Amino acid sequence: MDKKVLQEKLTALRRDLHAHPETAFEEVRTAGIVAEELKKLGLEVCTGIGGTGVVATLKSGNGKKVIGLRADMDAIALTDQGEHDHVSQNPGKMHGCGHDGHTVTLLGAAALLAENPSFNGTVRFIFQPAEEPGKGAQAMIDDGLFQRFPMDEIYGLHNFPNLPFGTINTRVGPMMASEDNFTIRITGLGGHASSPQLLVDPLAAACTIYLGLQTIVSRSVNPAHSVVVSVTEFETDGGHNAIPTHVELRGDVRSYLPEDSALVEKRMREICQGACAMYGAECHVTYTHEFYPTSNDAACVEKAMEAARDLLGATKANDQIEPFTASEDFSAFLQTVPGCFIILGTARSSDLTKDPPTHNAAYDYNDDALLIGSEYWVQLVRKCLA
């Protein structure tokens, strides 16, 4: 397949998806385009996996090994402020994280592999819905992904507009954090602000809790471990001259180890109960685990790096990316099968701060990286299924 022709096709398709973004579990149009493109290539295609997910299978030779390649399809709830011709036509929705690019990159790999299946084994092309809320991977798993489409390893790829263009970045072990969410609801006795002696002020307890939560990382967590505890919302039902009855604190916790997540939850509950007891208020803590940590298998990382070195050269292959505290739905797959999550650098210039980051209203996927990503997938398949 002529590379220029393929690049033009991938670019046009990516821009079409960008102009028609669909958020979690609403990826009907996107999934339909994906399935149609895969069927044109002659692949076995199954739709509706985990809602709107698509899985396609390509076999070559007599090899027994099966690997999965995953791309996410959903957009985010953000108003597109881009100045290009393919700006979002769906108000309040945009491909602000590059999932349009991820989807098209994997379709490009499927096209290259279908045309020249120079591997021995089976490839599963997994197009996942609802990565952003952290529900899509589990939905596919609950719908029998690994029973219906068994695989020995799984790989995922994500763009990063602030890493050097055309680089492949990963690491062994924890690379991205888990995400936990919490809601702390404090109940006091509200009333007129002129008579605090008659009331139970939940704001006093809330402020003490807020400050107390800041001590979890500094005084309870091993200093060698990375943990972030953030209160992001503070809401009351009071008024200018009325002490509230209810206060809610909501926020987010990031960590790399399950034991640290458990420690944060334990200390949070203790701090909340103690502070509320001190002020005579009551509280209820809801603590949920939204994302697992993304932790890469060593053998899979080595294959990913070998493929990067073979295709792009040693200077483009980085197996020591610093862990970062964003979270990734791909981690749910890694609870079942070994795998590796890969970051593709897509910076448009040598100034790595110039491009808008992901989840920015001005972000747009760098189309120059589409073919590189597709060719990398092909090289990885050949490495895994030699």
Q: What is the CATH number of domain 3-175+293-384?
A: 3.40.630.10
Mean pLDDT in the chain? 97
Q: Is the pLDDT of residue 346 over 90?
A: yes
Q: What is the pLDDT of residues 26-77, one digit of tens each?
A: 999 999 999 999 999 999 999 999 999 999 999 999 999 999 999 999 999 9
Evaluate whether the domain defined by 178-291 bears CATH number 3.20.20.70.
no
Q: 220 pLDDT exceeds 80? A: yes
Name residues whose C-beta falls within 8 Å of residue 25's C-beta, 6 or more positions apart in sequence. 51, 52, 74, 129, 130, 135, 136, 139
Provide the Cα torsion 332, 334, 339, 342; round to 10°: 40
Q: In the predicted model, what is the mean pLDDT of residues 10-20?
A: 98
pLDDT(376) > 80: yes
Which pLDDT score is estimated for 263? 98
What value does the mean pLDDT take over residues 346-365?
A: 95
Write out pLDDT tens, residues 244-255: 999 999 999 999
Q: What is the mean pLDDT of residues 223-239?
A: 96
% the chain with pLDDT above 70: 100
What is the per-residue DSSP string for 252-296? EEEESSHHHHHHHHHHHHHHHHHHHHHHT-EEEEEEEEEE--EEE
- The mean pLDDT value for 138-158 works out to 98
User: Is it the case that residue 4 has pLDDT exceeding 80?
Assistant: yes
- With 0-12 / 13-18 / 19 or more C-beta atoms within 10 angstroms meaning exposed / middle / buried, residue 210 is middle
Element (H, E) at 70: strand 66-72
> Could you tell me the pLDDT band of residue 1, with boundaries at 50, 70 and 90?
confident
Structure tokens of 209?
Answer: 């809790």
> Is-contact 179 253, C-beta < 8 A?
yes
Domain ranges in the chain are 3-175+293-384, 178-291
Can you tell me the distance from the alpha carbon of 33 to that of 48, in angstroms, rounded to the nearest whole number?
13
As to burial, measured by CB atoms within 10 angstroms (0-12 exposed, 13-18 middle, 19+ buried), residue 306 is: middle
What pLDDT score does 181 carry?
97
pTM: 0.93
